[in-house]
Structure 1
Amino acid sequence: MIKVGVIGATGYAGQQLVWLLNNHPEVEIEFLASHSYGGEAFSSIYRNFNKFLNKISIEINEVEKSIKKIDILFTALPHGKSFEFVQKALESGVKVIDLGADFRINDTEIFSEWYKIDHRYPDLSKEAVYGLSELNRDKIKDSKLIANPGCYPTASILALAPLLKNNLLMEDSILIDAKSGVSGAGRGAKVQTLYAECNESIKAYGVASHRHTPEIEQELSILNGSEITLTFTPHLVPMNRGILSVCYGKLKEKLSENEIFQVYKAIYGDENFIRLTKELPETRWVKNSNFCDISFRIDKRTGRIIVVSAIDNLMKGAAGQAIQNMNIMFGLKETKGLDLISMVP
């Protein structure tokens, strides 16, 4: 059994992670830690766990003495809060999957520019593997520190990766228009995510300044072999879960839809969690699952391709991908604990 600890277990991503870990046949949860709910039973915070998981959340200051009891640590904390925990875990020979942003950006100066904090462990950022499972599987296998991707980057990078890897898009033509459910803003109380503030409305936010921009640019640039600068605009929509990412780019040459499909099939054809669909993706078909649905259309009039992807932001965009990465790290079947399809309506 893999013994795990989770710091930040009571946020939305943390709770989803605990739900998956609790149902994983190869996992034993050693401890759950919370800034806000230390000393409380997990099932009293999330009552859906009643009779399933009554473990008491430990205080944050108790984490250090508990780290040596585990094989892998998951951190699901706001940016800037994971540094010390990750360092101590690695020093103790414990593997780490960080669901936050602290180790996603390779260049710590770029991290500091976008996140407005100094990076305390630049050497660890160089060591960390970006945990987009389908694209970095071989590196993930041997890594001790995984930077779990953000939700918007997961949907957007997976949508565009085959095109950039094959150098099919004009590098300065990429636009990403993405929409997320409210759970992406976290569980903390904020005026802008109150029901009366966001219901019956849709709004853009972080325009020309969203922190996921350099993460997307970094990974697409690596795939393309040249620097990618793009426009990314996220939106908040009044639903609990889901991300729909609509990505636009100018094709370098005229290609048929079948030719483009073969490009995607060559990369994703054998993937467990990527579904290439003829129909345009919808968030309801991936909700509560680890799937990413992808489809595209070619606008022959303008020479542009429009790629649409859909994920559940708390699953493939956070906790589900973290479990997928854990499975890879420990040599387990990649789908173990993730054999879930969306429930509708």
Structure 2
Amino acid sequence: MHESAPGAEKLPGVSIIGASGYSGAELTRLILRHPAVRLERLYAFSQAGKSAMSLYPATGCDMTYHTYEGETLSDIYFLALPHGEAHAIVPRLQAAGRMVVDLSGDFRLRDTAEHERFYGGKKPADAVMTYAMPELSRKEIAASRALSNPGCYATAIILGLAPLFDAASPLPKVRSVACAAMSGLSGAGRSSKTELSFAEMGGNIRAYKVGMHQHTPEIMQALGTSATNPSFDFSFTPLIGPLVRGIYATLTVKLEKPVAQADAAAAYEAFYRDAPFTRVRRQMPEVRHVAHTNYCDVFPAYAGEDGTLTVVSTIDNLLKGAAGQAVENMNIMLGIDQTSGL
């Protein structure tokens, strides 16, 4: 039986629904060691009755997975469920006054038609959540009790582009963006799929969902436009490669006029000056530089005389792209140090 640390009973209690997936396991590890909250309960329908330690020894958690049956006993709920499953749970938690952080795409998009086009199914109309990217909406997060955590590709790409779309940016206007981004295999979740096995993906790379990836409208929404009526040309080619974790995005931007690389770097540094987990680099980022951390590394890597600006952005898809950012958002919502537990 898991035992809380002395005084832990006074801390806000946390439950994780969908705790047996990769993001859920990362949440378990982070919350278990978090100094300002206590882990109360783990829910995982397919693994109910098993211990977290039996699936993920690295978490150091001996708690047992349970089937979620509508309880609202904890102060804070993280939902790490497949898309489409949070719809039925979030409204009940909100009605009970609980804090909620949802890691799925169920509540990310404001536009109903875009949600149905890119995710399928109906967009829930009975729950309102704040789209929670700390670098862009810290004040809104702090004033909220229900948060929709950004997607992994979306996090890397939005953070790579956001300084260009800031109203106060000294950089030229964006005409187009062409993005190619590679994800590790863990981004597809824990469920077994033959095409994602080591035998299929070892030494292999392939593109998928070209032009129709569900993070496309999320990216456009965060940048102040939409996938339906974009204010600039945008193309996104997602790829999957033979690494477990990490996202590596290369963003080729066409600006209305040329900009010096040093000026671009200075604008990026100014934009992220108060962002503890986004690092503007002066050298080429690598996945290994951010793996197992909550950092996003961004590098304005090239500025051409034709107005081309190439930006490279990389994150750990399970942390800054999922569980780590979710804990970061919880910290802001609770009004504690944004970096606590991370």
TM (normalized to structure 2)? Answer: 0.92
Instruction: Report what 1:244 is aligned to.
Output: 248
- The 1:10/1:184 distance shift into structure 2, 3 A limit, reads same
Deviation (angstroms), 1:111:
0.3
Local SS of the residue matching 1:316? coil
Preserved CA contact (<8 Å) 2:259 2:307? no
Q: Select which of 13, 21, 26 maps to 2:23.
A: 13
Cα displacement string for residues 312-332 of structure 1 (whole angstroms, at most 9, x for unaligned residues): 000000000000000000011
Instruction: Report what 2:158 is aligned to.
Output: 157
1:43 aligns with 2:47: no
Q: Select which of 75, 78, 81 maps to 1:74.
A: 78
Preserved CA contact (<8 Å) 2:174 2:256? no
Q: State how 1:37-186 maps to structure 2 within 5 Å.
A: 37-49=47-59, 52-61=60-69, 64-65=70-71, 67=72, 69-119=73-123, 121-124=124-127, 127-165=128-166, 166=169, 168=171, 171-186=174-189
Q: Distance in 2 between matches of 1:228 and 1:179?
A: 23
Cα displacement string for residues 215-255 of structure 1 (whole angstroms, at most 9, x for unaligned residues): 111111259xx734511111101011100111111112222
What code does the residue aligned with 2:67 have? E
Q: Distance in 2 between matches of 1:190 and 1:332?
A: 40
Q: Distance in 1 between matches of 2:215 and 2:115?
A: 10
Deviation (angstroms), 1:44:
1.5
- The 1:274/1:35 distance shift into structure 2, 3 A limit, reads same
Deviation (angstroms), 1:181:
0.6
What code does the residue aligned with 1:137 have? R
Preserved CA contact (<8 Å) 2:158 2:222? yes
Deviation (angstroms), 1:170:
5.0
Q: Distance in 2 between matches of 1:184 and 1:316?
A: 12
Instruction: Report what 2:195 is aligned to.
Output: 192
Identity of matched residues, %: 39
What code does the residue aligned with 1:132 have? M
1:273 aligns with 2:277: yes
Q: Distance in 1 between matches of 2:36 and 2:15?
A: 14
Local SS of the residue matching 2:320? helix
Structure 2 stretches lacking a partner, 5+ long: 1-10
- The 1:86/1:167 distance shift into structure 2, 3 A limit, reads farther
Local SS of the residue matching 1:173? strand
Instruction: Report what 2:41 is aligned to.
Output: 31
- The 1:171/1:261 distance shift into structure 2, 3 A limit, reads closer
What code does the residue aligned with 1:230 have? F
Q: Select which of 323, 326, 336 maps to 2:340.
A: 336
Q: Distance in 1 between matches of 2:117 and 2:40?
A: 37
Preserved CA contact (<8 Å) 2:182 2:248? yes
Structure 1 stretches lacking a partner, 5+ long: 339-345
Q: State how 1:213-232 maps to structure 2 within 5 Å.
A: 213-221=216-224, 227-232=231-236
Deviation (angstroms), 1:273:
0.6
What code does the residue aligned with 2:220 have? E
Is the helix fraction higher in 1 or 2?
1
Preserved CA contact (<8 Å) 1:169 1:250? no
TM (normalized to structure 1)? Answer: 0.91
Regions of 4+ moved over 4 Å: 167-172
1:201 aligns with 2:211: no
Instruction: Report what 1:342 is aligned to.
Output: none
Preserved CA contact (<8 Å) 1:129 1:139? yes
1:317 aligns with 2:327: no
What code does the residue aligned with 1:74 have? F
Instruction: Report what 1:341 is aligned to.
Output: none
Cα displacement string for residues 64-122 of structure 1 (whole angstroms, at most 9, x for unaligned residues): 13x1x211110001111001111110010001000000000011221011111112x22
Q: Distance in 1 between matches of 2:101 and 2:294?
A: 17
Q: Distance in 1 between matches of 2:91 and 2:53?
A: 30
Preserved CA contact (<8 Å) 1:221 1:228? no
Q: Distance in 1 between matches of 2:82 and 2:172?
A: 34
Instruction: Report what 2:293 is aligned to.
Output: 289
Local SS of the residue matching 2:181? strand
Q: What RMSD in Å do the two structures reach over aligned CA positions?
A: 1.7
What code does the residue aligned with 2:160 have? A
Give the number of equivalent residue pairs. 328
What code does the residue aligned with 1:158 have? L
